[in-house]
Amino acid sequence: MFNPYLPYPVRIAEIITETEDKNLKTFKFVFLNPEDEEKFSYTPGQFAELSIAGKGEIPIGIASSPTEKGFILFTINKVGLVTNHLHAMKVGDIMGIRGPLGNWYPWELMEGKNVVIIGGGFAFTTLRSSIVYMLHPDNRLKFKEIHVIYGARSPGMLLYREELAAWERRDDIHMHITVDATKDPGWKYNVGFVPTITEKKAPQGDENTYGIICGPPIMIKFTQPVLDKLGYSHDHIIMSLENRMKCGIGMCGRCNIGKEFVCKDGPVFTLSQLSAMPKEY
Amino acid sequence: MKWIKIEKKDFNRGLSALAKAYRLLGPVKKEKAHAFEALNEGQTPDFDFFNTHLSPKFLVQPQSEILFEYSLDEGKEDHHILKEIQKDLLPRLVVGIRPCDAAALLLVRRNFDASKYRDPFWVGAYESLTLFGLACGAPCATCFCTTAGGGPFNEAGLDALLVDAGDYFLVRPITEKGEGALKTAGWENAVDEKTALDIVTLLKTAAESRITSTVETDHLKNQSTVALYDAPFWEDVSFSCINCGTCTYVCPTCWCFDIQDECFGYSGVRMRNWDSCMYPLFTLHGSGHNPRGTKLHRVRQRFMHKLKYYVDKYDDGIQCVGCGRCIQSCPVNIDIRKVCKLMNSHPDPSTVCPV
């Protein structure tokens, strides 16, 4: 019987410090057994349990896109026992990955539509996966206009800065990068909170436009009324939730919101689905 | 419907025969209460009990269970790689499990043996079991199985049902597994069906009539989840709760667990332990945020899960078999029957006139 608790062994191939506070690092993992990479076939929006023998597991959104072969990426904030240990690990160290887990952004539904991505802080990981996926030559024609509104506290807190700059230069994606505040005279993008920039830059909502929002609760709280004003219906607003998890497969009982498990029935829900659920997240 | 008669004086001989093919488990009298334990050679299970203090769910989901092992010694080739361990899945036979506890395993099975994922540890342990149920002749005052989807003579989840008829047992084989085990025991004395059924029906009716305690569940499905969640009575229900978690540990249908790593020197294991929705750590985020940060949240979660979320998720009855253990063990007398009544009769806010 397939054992969903058994991680695939991986090696840390690269570690990139993403932010100026050094609390966010991107880890590139390579599967020890090449056949495991095929078994780990994922879709943007899914997550995995990163497993460190002797420490435990953490559920983290997959930051790489399935169009990127030979490795997988996770960007990890230093918070608790496992992430603190992980931040001290070195290239070449062995650990495990279990998944892919959960559902994904509704790619089939979004085909032929405009996609507006709204992200804040370090919740940009599965959004990076989504952007890389949509921009891939095999996929770009499947989507109409792509807008990205991404904000962080300061320029040094933005994730994937080189890629953001490269996307800025493209003409098939509208980038709206913003920071809460900056004294950097060389900063040539937006200044302001994500809800404000969304109000200014996001296209009007209609049948053919989907918004994907990921960010801290405070950002979501103030962005939602903006999207309402712009005319986004609640089944066109897509969100990804987080909760404490252990099993990741809907069995251990802790991550439920009402009858839905964030790990198995989520993490992706539409706003209209969320409004039928208790506000317990 | 086949019925077999076992004279009580022949019971031990059958058990000895079974002990050669299975590991036998049954209710045993301990200091204060009965418990399910392995039966030693020649040991007779003690059937003079109501419900065991702890449910036999630990036979399938042990309170603590090793899932994987690993080495942290970097000198070893496979260091830091989790390895599956050899699980002991030899056939086990439980004699004298109560129908409610067997039915509970069926409810829990939906969680562990689901369409997308199967939990190999739970499923493996469950499939290694053969369950000989013991019909309840004298239920407790806190039993309410008859309104919780079961009954004292319920056969769901059992491989055979034993009915105590005085000097002898009447046994009904339910599954092939059960039939095979009865053969192994040498219990093959089939009796006239009608006579057996007359006796069993009489005993069953008497047992059922002794269960006067009930729950009302008929409106739960139609209730709005959000309205129940926001109902004002949770403040009152949770007021006296001390979040001790006893209800979840004694409950045969509570399955929540935690996964932890434990190391000694270079060797380590990943294990899982019973956990409880009564504890704040159960849902605490790394950021410090806790979606179920107050005891009201946690008490509500336990009852909503059992009486509403489960009902909706599986489009079936409640996640409770009416064994009454939580009512007996709760140190502050929180009573699931009362909470169920509050939930079942909660008025739909849209139909209530504002005062």
B25, B156: one domain: yes
Quote the pLDDT of residue B269.
98
Distance CA B286, CA A63 (A): 20
Letter for the amino acid at B88?
D
Q: List, as one string, the DSSP characters of B292-352.
A: T-SHHHHHHHHHHIIIIIHHHHTTSS-S-----HHHHH-TT---HHHHHHHHHTPPPGGGS
B9, B127: one domain: yes
Higher pLDDT, B353 or A190: A190
Distance CA A72, CA A70 (A): 7
Which segments of chain A have a pLDDT < 70? none
Contact B21, B91 (CB under 8 A): yes
Letter for the amino acid at B255?
W
Contact B154, B181 (CB under 8 A): no
pLDDT in tens, A160-174: 999 999 999 999 999
B346, B301: one domain: yes
Letter for the amino acid at B35?
A
Distance CA B355, CA B337 (A): 29
| Nearest alpha-carbon partner for B226 in A257, A277, A261 | A277
Using the 3D structure, point to which of B210, B245, B280 is the last residue of a domain. B210
Residue B247 domain-assigned (yes or no): yes
Cβ atoms within 10 Å, residue A38: 8
Residue of B111, B123, B308 with shortest CB distance to A1: B123
State the smallest CA–CA distance between residue A276 and chain B in angstroms.
7
pLDDT in tens, B182-203: 999 999 999 999 999 999 999 9
Task: Give the CATH number of the domain where residue B98 resides.
Answer: 3.40.640
Average pLDDT, chain B: 94
What ipTM was estimated for this complex?
Answer: 0.92
B95, B179: one domain: yes
Residue B187 domain-assigned (yes or no): yes
> Is B226 near chain A, with CB under 8 Å?
yes
Contact B129, B24 (CB under 8 A): no
> Is B257 near chain A, with CB under 8 Å?
yes
**Contact at CB, A53 and B81, closer than 8 angstroms:** yes
Is the pLDDT at B169 greater than 90? The verdict is: yes
Query: Can you read off the two tokens belonging to residue B338?
Result: 């009362």
Q: How would you label A91-104 residue by residue, b for 16+ Cβ within 10 Å and e otherwise?
A: eebbbbbbbbbbbb
Cβ atoms within 10 Å, residue B314: 13
B42, B107: one domain: yes
Higher pLDDT, B41 or A54: A54
Residue B78 domain-assigned (yes or no): no
Q: By mean pLDDT, which of B37-41, B116-120, B345-349 is the weakest?
A: B345-349
Structural domain total, chain B: 2
Q: May I ask the CATH architecture of the domain A8-101?
A: Beta Barrel (2.40)
Residue span of the structural domain in which B264 resides = 225-351
Instruction: Please give the average per-residue pLDDT across B238-248, as a whole number.
Output: 96
Choosing among A1, A2, A5, which should be mutated to test the B contact, i.e. which has the most B CBs within 10 A? Answer: A5
State the smallest CA–CA distance between residue A169 and chain B in angstroms.
35
| Nearest alpha-carbon partner for B149 in B71, B214, B80 | B214
Residues 112-171 in B contacting A (C-alpha not used; CB under 8 Å): 112, 114, 116-121, 123-124
Q: By mean pLDDT, which of B107-111, B243-247, B345-349 is the weakest?
A: B345-349
Is the pLDDT at B46 greater than 90? The verdict is: yes
Cis previous bond, A44, omega within 30:
no
Quote the pLDDT of residue B15.
95
The CA-based dihedral angle spanning residues A154, B291, A241, B276, taken in that order and rounded to the nearest 10 degrees: 130
Residue of B80, B120, B297 with shortest CB distance to A280: B297
Rounded to 5°, angle at Cα A123 from A118 and A249: 115
B9, B130: one domain: yes
pLDDT interval class at B31 (50, 70, 90): confident
**Contact at CB, B285 and A242, closer than 8 angstroms:** yes
Is the pLDDT at B352 greater than 80? The verdict is: no
B162, B231: one domain: no
Residue of B123, B225, B283 with shortest CB distance to A243: B283
Contact A154, A186 (CB under 8 A): no
Residue B217 domain-assigned (yes or no): no
Is the pLDDT at B349 greater than 80? The verdict is: no
Quote the pLDDT of residue B353.
64
> Is B282 near chain A, with CB under 8 Å?
yes
Contact B92, B128 (CB under 8 A): yes
pLDDT interval class at B161 (50, 70, 90): very high
Instruction: Tell me, rounded to whole angstroms, the distance of Cα A146 from its chain centroid.
Output: 16
Quote the pLDDT of residue B350.
64
Quote the pLDDT of residue B351.
65
pLDDT in tens, B265-278: 999 999 999 999 99
Residue B76 domain-assigned (yes or no): no
Residue B22 domain-assigned (yes or no): yes
CB within 8 A of B89, min separation 6: which ones? B124, B125, B127, B128
pLDDT in tens, A188-230: 999 999 999 999 999 999 999 999 999 888 898 899 999 999 9
**Contact at CB, A244 and B285, closer than 8 angstroms:** yes
| Nearest alpha-carbon partner for B335 in B305, B295, B303, B293 | B303
Which residues are registered as beta bridge partners of A151? A120, A178
Distance CA B89, CA B105 (A): 17
pLDDT interval class at B32 (50, 70, 90): confident
* Percentage above 90 pLDDT, chain B: 91
* Percentage above 90 pLDDT, chain A: 95
B166, B19: one domain: yes
Say how many residues make up chain B: 355
Whole-Å CA distances, B246 to A235, A241, B82: 41, 31, 33
Residue B255: list chain A partners with CB under 8 A.
Answer: 251, 253
CB within 8 A of B176, min separation 6: which ones? none
Quote the pLDDT of residue A216.
86
Residue B74 domain-assigned (yes or no): no
B167, B274: one domain: no
Rounded to 5°, angle at Cα A222 from A219 and A227: 110
Distance CA B157, CA B113 (A): 14
Is the pLDDT at B142 greater than 90? The verdict is: yes
Topology of the domain covering A107-240: Rossmann fold (3.40.50)
B191, B231: one domain: no
Residue B293: list chain A partners with CB under 8 A.
Answer: none
Domain boundaries, given as residue ranges, for chain A: 8-101, 107-240
